[in-house]
Amino acid sequence: MTDFGVSLLSGGLDSTIVTSYAAREVECLNAITFKYGQTHVKEIDCAKNITSTLKINHKVIDISFVQHLSWYSSLTNPDDFKTPTKRPKNEISKKIPITYVPLRNTIFLSLGAAALESEVLNAIENENINPSNISAKLFMAPNAIDYSGYPDCRPEFFASALNTINLGSKLSTEYDVTIEIVTPIIHKTKAEIIQMGMELNSPIELTWSCYDGGQDPCNDCDSCILRARGFHELGINDPSLSDSKNNVRKN
């Protein structure tokens, strides 16, 4: 069996751990990072360092036009919309925040599946690999437990998307090779995700989760709050921070 995979890597904590998982699951893996007009590119630089450490192929794809389509978000249009900060932990996930980028995961999933299908079709049609000996897996890092309430992070979204992707693919309809969407952390808490990363020896210390692109995490946005809570629940320091900055988070 020849396993082909694409892992969507933002450079954040969750996608890095999922990419580390993917690297153990498939032999032919490509990581893809999208430059979609987000407010900062710090995560992209992190993604480059992460894939270098993991020794896997990596492509940064510029889809900056998405910024002008999915403009109703503080991540693509910070001049008009302010990222919420210091939201109480019990309020996070109750209401979809302005950090939601309209249909971002739908766009990313389609593009990632297209890249994966191209790789596999080339293997079948030009390298003469038997389709019955091929698997095709798209790895993504949505989470429906400790997250900010995004509708495109729910299991039901991915179940529907899986059906749509395969109905529209040559790979599935002609060669009977099903594109799998692998979401290994979708039902995990942030603490469980971090624990998984530690067991995989994932380069967590290289990741960036903050919605701000400053020198240090802001500690106030939803992403920082959820990340800090995960490490706190495990009783360990965040390896991406110095001891002094970990102490600041605890206080």
Q: Is 142 left (phi over 0), alpha (psi -120 to 50) or beta?
A: beta
User: Under a CB-based contact definition with an 8 Å cutoff, are residues 158 and 183 in contact?
Assistant: yes
Query: Order of strands, edge to edge, in the sheet holding 134-139?
Result: 57-62, 28-35, 2-8, 134-139, 179-182
Task: For residue 242, give both structure tokens.
Answer: 């110095």
Q: 251: burial class by Cβ within 10 Å (0-12, 13-18, 19+)?
A: exposed
What is the spatial distance between Cα 226 and Cα 221, in angstroms, rounded to a whole number?
9
| CA distances (Å), origin 124, targets 29, 182, 240 | 17, 22, 42
Q: Please report the beta strands in the chain, taking only residues with DSSP state E, as ranges in sequence order.
A: 2-8, 28-35, 57-62, 134-139, 179-182
Boundaries of every domain in the chain: 2-250
Q: What is the pTM of this model?
A: 0.94
Pick from 155, 180, 195: nearest CA to 25: 180
Which residue pairs from 87-92 have beta carbons closer than 8 angstroms and sit at least 24 positions apart in sequence? 87/222, 87/225, 89/225, 89/229, 92/147, 92/148, 92/149, 92/222, 92/225, 92/226
Encode the chain (251 residues) as per-residue pLDDT tens digits.
999 999 999 999 999 999 999 999 999 999 999 999 998 889 999 999 999 999 999 999 999 999 999 999 999 999 999 999 988 766 776 789 999 999 999 999 999 999 999 999 999 999 999 999 999 999 999 999 877 789 999 999 999 999 999 999 999 999 999 999 999 999 999 999 999 999 999 999 999 999 988 889 999 999 999 999 999 999 999 999 986 557 555 55
Handedness of CA 11, 16, 18, 22 (dihedral sign): positive
What is the spatial distance between Cα 134 and Cα 124, in angstroms, rounded to a whole number?
9
| CA distances (Å), origin 147, targets 27, 81, 130, 210, 233 | 30, 20, 40, 13, 16
Fold of the domain built from segment(s) 2-250: Rossmann fold (3.40.50)
Q: Tell me how long the chain is.
A: 251
What is the spatial distance between Cα 223 and Cα 102, in angstroms, rounded to a whole number?
18
User: Under a CB-based contact definition with an 8 Å cutoff, are residues 147 and 193 in contact?
Assistant: no
Task: For residue 171, give both structure tokens.
Answer: 């790979």
The reported pLDDT for the residue numbered 250 is 56
Largest CA distance in the chain: 60
